[in-house]
Structure 1
């Protein structure tokens, strides 16, 4: 049942102009940064006089392409998650879902899986762009895949947050705005506590854990953080729908 819901959610994204428009804009911006980073790399390397001043093309390209992707995700995730549950409430079809022979866990996980599948296409396409440079340059695949994994985990955690916010309102636009604010806060928590890296909220910053992957470090603690972050908001979403089923 989870896969059925996920396929339905994925088809609904590609059945609307918004799904294709987001994909096209994302690819256009990522492709532009890809081209700019490629040209900029060789310009910088030609002016580097010492070997220590030189960096690998994989790191340079990934920082440019994945860096802009991180910013784009801040806007893309709220847009694709805002309708997951709030539109069901708005169209008054939530009652049918509540009475359907499926658990709230299946509903939430199915919708989340559909969104993750859609966003994974964006990450895969960016990773593929850099991999396709292999005939022209030596690509550090372990570093690239580690960086891509970090961005994917960041996307999963952000989608879980957006899904929960969508469960709280019947207005998709309001859900998108609240998701944007909440996601921005979670990404930038470490910026508010730069003077005290031991502060509790410093370790809850999504960007702080993502940076470890961006530097090529595969840390089990950072993976666990993203998994627990996503699980927390998935459980909150399930609990919210259970409450609606009980009191409706």
Structure 2
């Protein structure tokens, strides 16, 4: 357990030690902040026009849909860029064998690296929650809705990170890992768009965005929660199995 925490701390420090880590975080914050400002102004413009449908939505939901919506799109690009080096860079720099020879299991390696990237991306989600909470002096914040929406985005980020980590474990080329992760995430997030004619199609229920939308509507559904957890566990197990195969067969 301590080795896993140490590895997670190492991954987090390495992200902040590189210009790329700060650059990605800065760009993300800038985009989220822009949508925050635009949503804030747009809300009051529509409210002043007396548009009753927006009045019924409430400021918390209106702001969260804009801010969290752009963040969900950002994750599709951020996760491949951040996760691409987790395992592939270790192979490329020939430090993977050294890591495997350390007194640490393959499970601890994968979970430690996953925890590092999740901690990094969680900073973005926390900052968005704080942004909306700063509106409390001027409006009533629907805290249960806000936290439910934030949980959905966090679960989406967790599942995407597990998938990115798996693809990083397949190759020693970080660029190839990023491309495969991005392609897979684009497909997995939009599976429901490919089956619009039949909402009961099997693949419709495998769409990440389909399950995220339930949280975005303020609904805490155990089915969606279990889906994200199983999705994460599935790709974590695949990554562990991949490292075990490397250790056994070289």
Q: TM-score, normalised by structure 1?
A: 0.98
In structure 1, runs of 5+ residues without a counterpart are none
Secondary structure at the aligned position of 1:6 is classed as: helix
Give 2:141's match in structure 1, choosing from 139, 147, 156: 139
The yes-or-no answer on 1:226 pairing with 2:228 is: yes
The one of 177, 180, 183 aligned to 1:181: 183
> What displacement does 1:49 show?
5.1
Q: Which residue, 87, 92, 98 being the options, matches 1:85?
A: 87
- Could you say which residue in structure 2 is the equivalent of 1:163? 165
Q: Do residues 209 (structure 1) and 215 (structure 2) align?
A: no
Indicate the residue corresponding to 1:111 in structure 2: 113
Q: CA separation in 1, counterparts of 2:191 and 2:231?
A: 14
> TM-score scaled to structure 2, two decimals?
0.97
- Deviation readout 1:90-127 (Å, 9 max, x if unpaired): 11111101211110000000000000000000000011
Indicate which of 8, 11, 15 corresponds to 2:10. 8
- Structure 1 residues 51 and 15, CA, compared in 2 at 3 Å: closer, same or farther? closer
| Root-mean-square deviation (Å) | 1.0
Cα deviation, residue 50, structure 1: 4.1
**Deviations 1:57-77 (CA, angstroms, capped at 9, x unpaired):** 000000000010011111000
Q: Which has the higher mean CA deviation after the structures are superposed, 45-54 or 174-183?
A: 45-54
Q: Is the 8 A contact 1:48 1:54 kept in 2?
A: no
* TM-fit CA distance, 1:86: 0.3
2:170 aligned counterpart, secondary structure? coil
**Count of residue correspondences:** 248
> Do the aligned partners of 2:65 and 2:216 also contact (CA within 8 Å) in 1?
yes
Unmatched tracts of structure 2, length 5 or more? none
Superposition pairs for residues 26-175 of structure 1, below 5 Å? 26-48=28-50, 50=52, 53-175=55-177
**Secondary structure at 2:63 match in 1:** helix
State the 4+ residue runs in structure 1 displaced beyond 3 angstroms.
49-54
